[in-house]
Amino acid sequence: MEQWHKESVVYQIYPKSYNDTNGDGIGDIRGIIEKLDYIRSLGVNCVWLSPCYPSPGDDNGYDISDYRGIAAEYGTLDEFKEMLDGMHKRGIRLLMDLVVNHTSDEHEWFVESRKSKDNPYRDYYIWRDPVDGKEPNGWTAAFGGSAWEYDEQTGQYYLHLFSKKQPDLNWENPKVRQEIADMINYWLDMGVDGFRCDVINNISKDFTRAYAGGNGPRLHEFLHELHERALGPHKALTVGETWGLTPDQALMLTSEKRGELTMTFQFEHLLLGRVGGDKFDPEPLDKKAFVDILAKWEYGLKNDSYPVLVMENHDQPRALSRFGDRYNYPYESATMLASMLYGMRGVPFIYQGQELGLHDPTFNSMSEYRDIETINAYNELKASEKYTEIELLAKMQYGSRDCGRTPIPWTSEKHGGFTTGEPWIKTQIDDGFTVEAQEKKESSVLNFYRKLFSIRNNDPCLKDGEFELLMNENDVSVYTRTSNDSVVYVISNFSPEERSLPDCVPTNAEVLLNNYNEIGASLKPYQSFWVKK
């Protein structure tokens, strides 16, 4: 199987908010092309591009109406190829977003499918008769309401695990599976290097369960088939978006000998600070659990698979706001989080803007939000009449996906130089947080990220050395990475207070990375460093 993933450092681009070059307020492919040298300068060698296919935009491109095209607002297929070429020239691989659990309801397959029960595309989707005049079962959709939508035309319901404009494909149908494999080959033949696979464990449904979701009985079979027909022959890298797996389940999907996916994301630590994982229900962060969960996955995937190291993406508020100390120690806590996470074994994923240590923008009213999930959640919670307007706005500010979706502040100009027009979503430009300001300042989060990855990329021990957690208590963690005769220690203080330096930290070791100028008798607030013995 493909091995290049072990060398990868991945940068996620959310194209709508990256860089707009024609003043329509929407980021575009030309805008990415303009920034390729910047991207390379971060020390990344792979880009994951969120969907840029034609889409009505109900879920910002995760509702695709044509799998083989490029959305007009982002550019043309020729520009896409130019971007791909520009990446390859710089030693950067490209992962596209593979959204094949569902399509848009405006995809021609669904337009056909809903026409009649005997339409050739009927079985491309999941249609059911009403049961007692109601929904076929009690499954609910991720964006609220029932997962079933009644369609007058034929008197049946179709399944949608997300919005009703995102009907689920019927993977039981062999024609659907062949269409998807062909589409994957189309992009791989063009030179794309792999895919991030959206909610991929949902493709096989388990209808015996009371709650909606995937991990159905044929998941492994479907993925293995895709691997045989498309991914394997191209040595494509795949990373699955798989919520709620145990390490053992993740191994079943990624173990090299199985020929399914290359890696899966693990997001368990991203559920912290949320009551029962509910993103709109805050609770204090359990810092010990944060490190323990990461360590659990390091151990759990050991030898047979390769972890993904992630703390931000387009579905999450900014890590600095969630896990760091935005007001008192923005630089120290943003760099501590990076140093602690990316010292581990696995493939680092960095979400655009994370390298600047961005915090969440401030949303002053519901009219500033664009995300369907946020808007639906607000309406549902409001209808429950349990919360005041101020409480509702605080909840949205805490959990909204839009927190991570506002444009990159490139310069101190209006809208951060993102656009010369009106941006599709609000921009927030804070002093010192722009790319321009951070380029100039040696001790910026941006330059810390560059340094971190230049060290990591050149150190075999940091790439593949064995992980061991030595301690995690009182906000201080120490772990080691070991290979052959070298040991790297990663020491982090996850607190705004000084802490004593643990005894297990070696003296006279070579300092590789440090977010303070020195290592003293005690750890400074949010201090984190790597030393090598």
For Ca ion, which is the closer residue by CB, 36 or 271?
A: 36
Binding residues for Ca ion restricted to 6-45, rule: CB under 5 A: 20, 22, 24, 26, 28
CB closer to Ca ion out of 243 and 418: 418
For residue 487, give the H/E element and its range. strand 486-493
Candidate list 58, 59, 298, 402; residue touching ligand GLC; CB under 6 A: 59
Size of the site for ligand GLC (CB under 6 A): 9
Examine the residue annotation and report whether 198 is marked as an active-site residue of this protein: yes
Residue 232 φ then ψ, to 5°: -60, -55
Tell me whether residue 60 or residue 427 sits nearer to ligand GLC (CB atom): 60
CA distance 238 to 260: 9
Transcribe 180-243 into DSSP letters.
Answer: HHHHHHHHHHHT--EEEETTGGGSS--TTSSS-----TTHHHHHHHHIIIIITTTT-EEEE--T
Closest approach of Cβ 511 to ligand GLC, in Å?
38
CA dihedral 380, 383, 388, 391 (to 10 degrees): -10
Least Cα distance to 432 among 320, 330, 312 occurs for: 330
Instruction: Enter the tokens of residue 416.
Output: 């951060």
Contacts 24+ apart (CB under 8 A), 65-68: 65/103, 65/104, 65/106, 65/107, 65/108, 66/107, 66/108, 67/103, 67/183, 68/183, 68/186
* Both tokens assigned to 307: 């972890």
Measured from the Cβ of residue 277, the count of other Cβ atoms closer than 10 Å reads 14
Check residue 79 for interaction with Ca ion (CB under 5 A). no
The answer to whether the Cα torsion of 161, 164, 166, 171 is positive or negative is positive
Whose Cβ is closer to ligand GLC: residue 314's or residue 359's?
314
Minimum CB distance to ligand GLC smaller for 57 or for 330: 57
Cα-to-chain-centroid distance, residue 156: 35
CB of 251 vs Ca ion, minimal distance in Å: 42
CA 243, 245, 246: angle at the middle one, nearest 5?
150
Residue type, 489: Y
Measured between alpha carbons, how far is 426 from 510 in angstroms, rounded to an integer?
45
Is the CB of 241 or the CB of 360 nearer to ligand GLC? 241
20 binds, among Ca ion, ligand GLC, none (CB under 5 to 8 A by kind): Ca ion
312 contact choice in ligand GLC, Ca ion, none (CB below 5 to 8 Å, kind-dependent): none
Q: Which of residues 313-332 bind ligand GLC (CB under 6 A)?
A: 314-315
Our CB check for Ca ion shows the closer of 21 and 249 to be 21
- Show the site string, 19-58: x = touches ligand GLC by CB under 6 A, - = not: ----------------------------------------
Q: What is the footprint of ligand GLC within residues 181-210 (CB under 6 A)?
A: 198-199
Task: Give the one entry of ligand GLC, Ca ion, none that residue 162 binds, where binding means its C-beta sits below a cut-off of 5 to 8 angstroms depending on kind.
Answer: ligand GLC
Q: How far is the CB of 409 from Ca ion (least distance, A)?
A: 17
Residues 116-155, one symbol each (x = binds ligand GLC by CB under 6 A, - = not), give ----------------------------------------
Cα dihedral 125, 126, 127, 130, rounded to 10, equals -160
Binding partner at 193 among ligand GLC, Ca ion, none, C-beta below 5 to 8 Å by kind: none
Question: Where are the extended beta strands (E) located within 86-211?
Answer: 93-98, 127-128, 148-151, 156-159, 194-197
Of ligand GLC, Ca ion, none, which one does residue 59 interact with (CB within 5 to 8 Å by kind)?
ligand GLC
Q: Which of 84, 99, 230, 337 binds ligand GLC (CB under 6 A)?
A: 99
14's tokens: 């959310």
Long-range contacts of 116-123 (CB under 8 A, 24+ apart): 116/153, 116/154, 117/154, 117/156, 123/170, 123/173, 123/175, 123/176
Q: Which residue is nearest to ligand GLC (CB)?
A: 62
CA dist 75 and 97 (Å) reads 17
Partner from ligand GLC, Ca ion, none binding residue 340, C-beta < 5-8 Å depending on class: none
Shortest Å, Cβ 60 to ligand GLC: 7
Catalytic annotation present for 82: no
| Closest distance to ligand GLC from the beta carbon of 355 (Å) | 20
Per annotation, catalytic residue among 73, 135, 198, 298: 198
d(CA 119, CA 126): 13
Q: Which is nearer to Ca ion, 24 or 430 (CB)?
A: 24
Interacting residues with ligand GLC (CB under 6 A): 59, 62, 99, 162, 198-199, 241, 314-315
Task: Give me the active site residues, please.
Answer: 198, 241
Interacting residues with Ca ion (CB under 5 A): 20, 22, 24, 26, 28
